[in-house]
Amino acid sequence: MPHPPPPPRTPWGAFPDVLIHASESAVKQHPAYWAAKTGSGAAALALVNDTMSDQANQRLLNLMQGHVPTLVSAHAYEREGVNAIPEIFADELSKTLSWPVDNGVLQINAVGHTGADGFSRLARQARFAGAVQPGGEYVLVDDFIGMGGTLANLKGHIESNGGRVLAAVVLTGKPHSAKLALTPERLHELRTKHGTELEQWWIERFAHAFDALTESEARYLARTEGADTIRNRIAAGQQA
């Protein structure tokens, strides 16, 4: 059975930093977190109501001034069930901001990113399906940002189908992960470290060059000693 094509990615341009609502401790130590992560809508609602930030919402409104984008969430499949947090978070943002929400774009594979290392995240990438409004403007919503690959692939799905992604917002994540758009300095570091042969291999494997990586993905690869290590760890992660 042939493998499906890699999920698309699109150029970053001047993509703004992801808006993070709450600290990891506030979210992950919340009593409703695990139930929300494993499918409970009621638990997700309690978690979102306790950790959603009015200040972050105001920053998003300021960033989107003059636009009324559609909110679309990264419905993530976990080993334990469907993560209820992104969809509930999008619904609550919709009520607060008076923006429409589209629940029709769905993640269609299970990637097992929770607790996974960086190579496993790079190897097992989220795929999305669902109708996109051509010319429509979107804001991405997720519960957590780590290396940013899921948001990058959701952006790629929307933009390769004619939409435009203006921003992204998450409930929690590390502050340094907020920068999705790859900087020229990081791209130069990665290409200098590993050369053109690895980038060509990456294009054959993932159908995009290094310039479509997130800042965190590129930093992870640039800090890895040797192109052979990267190829072997990616191959192992895809077979897991």
pLDDT digits (tens, 9 = 90+) for 183-213: 999 999 999 999 899 999 999 999 999 999 9
Confidence bin at 1 (pLDDT 50/70/90): very low
Same domain, 39 and 123: yes
Q: What is the pLDDT of residues 151-185, one digit of tens each?
A: 999 999 999 999 999 999 999 999 999 999 999 99
Domain match, 171 and 210 both? no
Residue 4 domain-assigned (yes or no): no
The CATH code of the domain that includes 46 is 3.40.50.2020
Q: Tell me which of 150, 178, 206 is where a domain ends.
A: 178
- Among 157, 178, 199, the domain boundary falls at 178
pLDDT tens string 104-143: 998 888 766 555 678 888 988 899 999 999 999 999 999 9
Neighbours of 215 (CB within 10 A): 22
- 194 with 166, same domain: the answer is no
Largest CA-CA distance found in the chain, in angstroms, rounded: 50
101 and 139 part of one domain = yes
Indicate the pTM of the whole model.
0.93
Is 121 buried (19+), middle (13-18) or exposed (0-12) by CB count in 10 A? buried
Residue-range definition of the domain harbouring residue 191: 184-239
Flag whether 14 is in a domain.
Answer: no
Q: Does a structural domain hold residue 11? A: no
Please report whether residue 190 resides in a domain. yes
CA dihedral (178, 130, 109, 177) in degrees, to 10, reads: 0
Number of domains the chain is built from: 2
At residue 98, does pLDDT exceed 50?
yes
Amino acid at 208: H
Between 7 and 237, where is the model more confident? 7
Q: Are 33 and 66 in a shared domain?
A: yes
Q: Tell me: do 189 and 88 sit in the same domain.
A: no
Q: Residues 127, 29: one domain?
A: yes
